[in-house]
Chain A
Amino acid sequence: MGVVHGEEMVLNIGPQHPATHGVLRLQVRTDGEVVSEVTPYLGYLHRCFEKHCENVTYEQVIPFTDRCDYLASMTNNFGYVVAMEGLMDIKVNERVEHIRVIMAELQRIASHLLGLGAFGLDIGAFTPFLHMLRDRERILDLFEMTCGARLLYNYMWVGGLSHDLPVGFVESTYRFLDYFEPKIDEFVKLLVHNKIFVERTADVGRLPQDVAISYGVSGPNLRASGQKWDLRKDDPYSIYDRFEFDIPVGEGGKGSVGDCWDRFYVRVLEMKESIKILRQALSSLPKEGDVYQSLPKKIRPPIGSIYKRTESPRGDLGYYIESDGTNIPYRLKMRSPAFTALSVIDEIAAGWLLSDVLAILGSLDIVLGEIDR
């Protein structure tokens, strides 16, 4: 980091630190409490995802996508199977599409819950975090009754699903939604409009729209900067074009557009929108339909490549798949939204106080598994 001048101090946050959400190392140059430069060092969780993909078959890639963004495994599976189905030109039936959307939206809520809770934790509010985890458990129960796993599901397969919905799933999901909707309001009361919380987050770490686009920031972080961009609406995949929902964007409710509070509040609103989608998808879920109907006997996509993006809870999740006609991917690259979101940290965190840097980091909602892959 070069020469350290006078009063300055170089401080290593991480790789093991309660606020880094995993094993990230931030090297910050500080003068007292004021941070002048933030340099992230990645790779402490580099698990060679792409190398594995070049060595295992297309089906076996799915569990590895689970483990990339371990807070949103369903949407990671979803992105991969959408890309593969695009490459192989497979159409899946209505029931499968509906179940996929239901799972993805439940996963979005679960992921946002943990992201918001962890952000609160970074600010020092411990209790909302546990309340969030408590409600998240209920979503995990739904996943568990569907596919038996709590965290890493391997649920969506190319051309279908690993299991059909169990008996009583729809009712349980409705029950969960009825339980959860008032909880959002409670959460808003507890944290979102908390005076101290607002003081800590409003106007802090403003991310202008053009900077966000240049850094490839996507998802809720980009929307908080005022850009109305959601792949579910703007480049619809699966059956998202059938549902009615809004795209919440940051409006600077407590400070200016694109600050930490906006990034936080957009996620809260997105959970509400997900509930809307869930209710529509549950009501239009077809009773009939075999989830194994279009499972290919052998996955051997034609020679060629595809780049397909889907909207994961963290933003544009892209898969670049290069096929050489065999049953093993020639190259598979994952464009992870958290990777691009983290890259912007120096731009928006420099000049703030040490506590703010950690708040800004929390507001970006990163998952190290996806950054390092």
Chain B
Amino acid sequence: MIEMRLSGSGGQGLILAGIILAEAALLDGKMAIQSQSYGPEARGGASKSEVIISEKAIHYPKVTKPNLVLAMTQEAVDKYSKDLPADGILMIDTTFVKKVPDHLKNVYHLPITEKVTAELGKALFANIVALGAIVATTKAVSVESITTAILHRVPKGTEDINKRALELGIALVAK
């Protein structure tokens, strides 16, 4: 069982990213649950999308011991990485996150938004870049399935650019 939390601010597409991740897991023949939380105040505020992937039935739908936290804003790091164990993975977008908790060992500093804006001209695909990085790091789902899942969910005509975003993400951690 792998528990992941994708966090950031309202507009960054992380709920969609969580859904895609969970769908990819289903394509891999696994079980998956996705859930999210946001306040009425979450317009622009911190929000999170959680995904649990397992070979067996998943009972409790919320992440209790995250294996990975993706944080796309500073507020998200502060709010949602607290329960990450010392050996858990923290993945941050260095574009927005400047400070990370000291005790963590596995911190991936990734210039996600910066990079995607530079390479693809739009910050819009940052969530897909993040997915690439997550999949490459955790192998939670296969690259094939995540690709299929992404293509299934994104608007027609944006397939190519989304694929490039995914590759960009994979490349980010490969480095």
* A and B interact: no
Residues of A in contact with B (beta carbons under 8 Å apart): none
Interface residues of B (CB under 8 A from A): none
